[in-house]
Amino acid sequence: MTDRRGVVARRAEDLSPGVPYVRGWNRARRSAGTLADQLVLLGLDTDFPGLVADVNVFGDGLVQLGTVRPEAAELLAKLIRVGLEAERLATATELPVTTRRKAPVA
């Protein structure tokens, strides 16, 4: 499996010397754990039973969602969209920081 940028390759099954598999897998493990924690909070953990950390042949960490129902994929996409929209609105409503300083009172 390769994405359009060539970053994601097939998963590592036979390890090669000098490839940092543990570093990549550890990063994927942390990310998968973060996602799993959020899915638990949303009550969606049972919808993603195949969520697992993995590593590809180049040592890049991968997070596999596993096989999910279409409804679960749609819900995850909606949650991402809502989160991005909330982030955009929060950024838009922040007050601009003034860089001009007041002159000291004489």
Q: What is the pLDDT of residues 3-14, one digit of tens each?
A: 665 566 776 767
Is the pTM here over 0.85, yes or no?
no
CB-CB contact of 68 with 83 (8 Å): no
Which among 47, 55, 95, 43 is positioned nearest to 74, based on CA atoms? 47
Q: What is the pLDDT of residues 39-79, one digit of tens each?
A: 999 899 999 999 999 988 888 888 999 999 999 999 999 99
Query: CA 1, CA 40: separation in Å to the nearest integer?
Result: 29
